[in-house]
Amino acid sequence: MSQATQRRGLGFYLLAAFFALFVIFLYGPMLVIFILSFQGPTGGLTFPLRGVSTHWFNDLWTSTRYGDLGGAFRRSMVLGAMSLAITAIVCLFAGLAFRKRFIGAGPLFYLAITSLVVPGILLGLGISQLFQLLGFRLNWWLSGLGAHLSWTLPFGLLIMFAVLNRFDSSWEEAARDAGATPWQTLRYVTVPILFPGLIAVALFGFTLSYDEMPRSLLTVGGRNTLPIEISNMTTNVTTPALYAIGTVTSVLSFAVIALAFAGIALIQKRRARAK
């Protein structure tokens, strides 16, 4: 190892210290919530721990004082799953369509991503007013889903553009030259190559929908999603059950990411075996 590598300047240590502070700031609160969620039955919202138990996790799902937490959790999961599927499918075909120039492509693109800069609460208000004018009832699976898609689709489209920017269309041309139909080219060439990018789009669709609150407040009707239910809990719940639900949702998010990586690894192994 050279002396230049062994001797590090002041700038390196300053950047390392900044990065360490960034990691602590980012993951420190999450770690504190994880620890405090395992408070004993007589524990509070702060340190020190008064015993270690899973009491607050059990209390979270068995007690009725926290509202419709189980129903809110199920609704958020279903909304996230629907947003995942719709975002992945729509963004795939939208990205493929935008590979070729067509009349109105520019305005259509900017119109698609406009909702990213519109405050979510205003967008939710507009959707709720539109449904009322049309005489439709607000429902979490209809108006709520539309509000969530206004958030997930633009992000998914931008990710798909980045993925397609590195896509070599000569693979598709080779498939067509070999006699493949457009559907066969899409199924056996385009989608498998773009699959890791589709996983990223799907994950964004799920996590953004699962965690969305401003666009949900005025669009889900009388049945709340989990973020709204948690927000309501912060006003009347003063037990570590708040931390327990935070731990549950964090573990769920990590589990979804782990499943996505496992799926990608499995597909890569199958491709390697096929070769």
Structure confidence by residue, pLDDT tens digits, 252-268: 888 888 888 887 888 77
pLDDT tens sequence across 165-189: 989 889 999 999 999 999 999 998 9
**pLDDT tens track for 150-166:** 999 999 999 999 999 98
Q: What's the pLDDT score for residue 6?
A: 62
Per residue in 19-29, is it b (16+ CB within 10 Å) or e — as a string?
eeeeeeeeeee
* Per-residue three-class SS string for the chain: CCHHHHCCCHHHHHHHHHHHHHHHHHHHHHHHHHHHCCECCCCCCCCCCCCECCHHHHHHHHCCCCCCHHHHHHHHHHHHHHHHHHHHHHHHHHHHHCCCCCCCHHHHHHHHHHHHCCCHHHHHHHHHHHHHHHCCCCCCCCHHHHHHHHHHHHHHHHHHHHHHCCCCCHHHHHHHHCCCCHHHHHHHHHHHHHHHHHHHHHHHHHHHHHCCCCCCCCCCCCCCCHHHHHHHHHHHCCCCHHHHHHHHHHHHHHHHHHHHHHHHHHHHHHHHHHC
Which of the four pLDDT bands, split at 50, 70 and 90, describes residue 3? low
Percent of the chain clearing pLDDT 70 (strictly above) = 97
Predicted local confidence at residue 67, as pLDDT:
78
At residue 275 the predicted structure's pLDDT band, cuts being 50, 70 and 90, is low
Six-digit token string for 187? 């199924």
Answer yes or no: is pLDDT of 274 > 80. no
* Domain coordinates in residue numbering, the chain: 69-236
pTM: 0.84
What CA–CA distances, in Å, run from 179 to 43, 173, 176? 69, 10, 5
Q: Is 63 left (phi over 0), alpha (psi -120 to 50) or beta?
A: beta
Question: How large a percentage of the chain has pLDDT more than 90?
Answer: 50
> According to CATH, what is the number of the domain 69-236?
1.10.3720.10
